[in-house]
Amino acid sequence: MSYQVLARKWRPRSFAALVGQEHVVKALTHALEQQRLHHAYLFAGTRGVGKTTLARILAKALNCESGITAAPCDKCAACAEIDAGRFVDLIEVDAATNTKVDEMRQLLESAVYSPTRGRFKVYVIDEVHMLSTSAFNAMLKTLEEPPAHIKFILATTDPQKIPVTVLSRCLQFNLKQMPPAAIAGHLHHIAGEEGVRAEPGGLRLLAAAARGSMRDALSLLDQAVAYSAGEVTEGAVRAMLGAVDLGYLVDLADALLDADAGRAIGIADAMEARSLSFDGALAELANLLHRVALAQAAPDALDLQLPDRDRILALAARADPETVQLFYQIAVHGRRDLPLAPDEYAGFTMALMRMLAFAPAAAPDGTSVAPAAVVGRTPPSAPAARRGYRSGTGRRSSARSSSRALRASSPSAASSCRSPKTWSSFACRRTPRRSAKRPTRTS
C-alpha cells in the first residue's frame, strides 16, 4: 500500500477533531443543532488553517443519513463517500482554474436539479477570489435566492478581492492562524500515534516554522521524520531548518553586553562556517531580546518550558532595559536592510557593530550614560528652549545676532558671509529676511 502523507492522513473528520478554530466550530455547531442553516458560507483565512476541511465536515453534517447533526456518524454511505472524495452531491470547484463566466454559468445551470444521493447539493468553491468580475456577477442572483436543496461554501485566502455584493450574501467566518503551542501539542499527539519519538524542543521548532499553518507543520514533521531516520530530535530539526542554535544567540548577547567586538565577530564567523542564515539569525536575536525584555517587565509571563530560561533570566538581570530596546530596534532594522548589504555576512556584522557603537556607556556609579558619539552635546531643557524661542533668544535670535555682528566687524567678514563654505554663511542663510514695507498708495 502506498504511503499517505500526514497532512492527508490526519485531516480532521469531525468538528471535535479540529484544532485552533473553536470560534467557528461553536457557531456552526449551534446552527446545526438549532436547524438555523444559511444557504451560503464563506471561510476566509491563510493557507493550511482548515477551510476545505471545515467545508467537508459541514457537508457531512448536512448529508449524514442519521439526519442533520453537528456530530456526523462517519459510518453511513454518505459520510464514507464524502471522506473518500467521491460523493456525487458534493461538487468541489477550483476557482483558480475555472475563472471564466461561461464555466460559472455551466455550474449554475446544474444547480437547479435535485441532489442525486444526499439531502443537499453542496458546492464548495475554493480560492473564490480568483473568479472574474463577470463570473461573480453571474452567480449573484443564484447566491442570493438559491433553491432549497443548494448550499454554497466559499473558501478564500484573500477576502479583500471578493466584491461586497458577494460578501453581503454570505455568512462569513474568519479562520485565525493557529498558535504555536496548539500546533506543537497536535504534532506531539500525531507523533505518538505514528510511533515516532519526538523531542519537545524539535516539535516547538516545527510549530514556529509552520507560521500558523497546521498543514505546513505536518509537512515539516514528515520531512523531519525522513531527515532524522524516524527520531525527531531538536538538533536534527535545527539542521534541517537551518535554524540558529539558541546558544549562539545567548553568547552573542553576552559579547554585546561586554562590548567585546572580537568575540561577537568570532561568533558570526562560526555561524558563517555552518552556513546559517543571517536573516534568520537577526530574527532569532530579536526574538531573544523580546524574551529578555519580557523577563524584565513581567517575569511571570515567561514560559516555564522555555529552553535556556535561566540564561535568559541572567541576561535580563544583567542588561538595562534601554540597552535591550536599542539592540532590538537595531536587529529589526538590520534585518530590513540586509538585502541592501554587499552580502549577508557584512550586513549581519555591521548590525552588531552598530549595536556596539550606539550602546550606552557605563558610568562610574553603574548607571548608563549616552554613547561616546553624542557625549558633549548638551541640549537645553524643553522649558528653556521654549522661553528662548518665544523671547527671541533662541536659535533664530542667536543666528540673527551673529550675522549682524559679522557684518559689523569688517567688510571682508561680510563678504565671507556670502561664501557657501563657511559656518557664517550658514548663519546668514538661517537669518530670516525682513520683508520690505510696501509703499502706500496716494490717491
Distance CA 11, CA 7 (A): 6
What pLDDT score was predicted for residue 382?
Answer: 46
Q: Any bridge partners for residue 197, and if so which?
A: 231
Cell numbers placing 52: 476545505
CA 202 from centroid of its chain's CA atoms:
21
Residues 182 and 19: beta-carbon distance below 8 Å? yes
Phi, psi at 273, each rounded to 5°: -65, -30
Q: What b/e string do you get for 351-381 counting C-beta neighbours within 10 Å, with b at 16 or more? A: bbebbbebbeeeeeeeeeeeeeeeeeeeeee
Q: What is the DSSP string of 243-258?
A: PPPHHHHHHHHHHHHT
Q: Any bridge partners for residue 439, and if so which?
A: none
Residues 222 and 238: beta-carbon distance below 8 Å? no
Q: What is the DSSP string of 158-203?
A: -GGGS-HHHHTTSEEEEPPPPPHHHHHHHHHHHHHHHT-EE-HHHH
Q: What is the pLDDT along the chain (443 residues), one digit of tens a residue?
A: 578 899 999 999 999 888 889 999 999 999 999 989 999 999 999 999 999 999 999 999 999 999 999 999 988 999 999 998 899 999 998 888 877 888 888 888 888 888 888 899 999 999 999 998 888 988 888 888 888 999 999 999 999 999 999 999 999 999 999 988 899 999 999 999 999 999 988 898 899 889 889 999 999 999 999 998 888 988 888 888 877 888 888 899 999 999 999 999 999 999 898 888 899 899 999 999 999 999 998 888 777 767 678 888 888 998 999 999 999 999 999 999 999 999 999 999 999 999 999 987 655 555 555 554 444 444 445 444 444 444 444 444 444 544 454 454 444 444 444 444 443 444 444 444 555 555 555 54
Tell me the helices (H) and strands (E) count for the chain, helix number first. 21, 9
Q: Which of 130, 129, 135 is nearest to 106 (CA)?
A: 135
Residues 42 and 167: beta-carbon distance below 8 Å? yes
Residues 348 and 282: beta-carbon distance below 8 Å? yes
Q: What is the pTM of this model?
A: 0.70
Distance CA 49, CA 175 (A): 7
What pLDDT score was predicted for residue 80?
Answer: 92
